[in-house]
Amino acid sequence: MTAQRACALSELEQDTPLRVVLDGKPIAVVRDSNDVVHAIGDTCTHGDISLAEGFVEGETLECWAHGSAFSLVTGKPLNLPAFEPVPVYTVTIDGDDVLIDPSATVAA
């Protein structure tokens, strides 16, 4: 598989997650306050909740349902009740295109 266009960089507001689906995989794309773009699995590992509906704080994305905050860098939850990580995908920026390879996860 190769990287696919997920969205435009210009449509990503800082700290406002965007949910995309690539090859059937829901992915939360986040442009953090340092303009670094992250892509992690969008489904909270505690329940069937879209993490893109949650809150960005620094390099974490917090699930709104029960408050587990997932690292945008490692995918690991930093607090309970979730304890399983979400996948982290490699992001490539090409001009105004945000490219993500949904078949390749980053080893945490």
For residue 15, the minimal CB distance to ligand FES (Å) is: 19
d(C-alpha 60, C-alpha 8), whole Å: 22
* CA-based end-to-end distance of the chain: 20
Residue 35 vs 83, nearer CB to ligand FES: 83
Residue ranges that bind ligand FES, judged by CB under 6 A: 44, 46-47, 49, 63, 65-66, 68, 81-82
Residue 42 vs 101, nearer CB to ligand FES: 42
For residue 40, the minimal CB distance to ligand FES (Å) is: 13
Asked if 23 contacts 105 with a C-beta cutoff of 8 angstroms, the reply is no
Residue 12 vs 63, nearer CB to ligand FES: 63
Nearest to 41 by CA among 31, 32, 52: 52
User: Strand, coil or helix: what is 70?
Assistant: strand
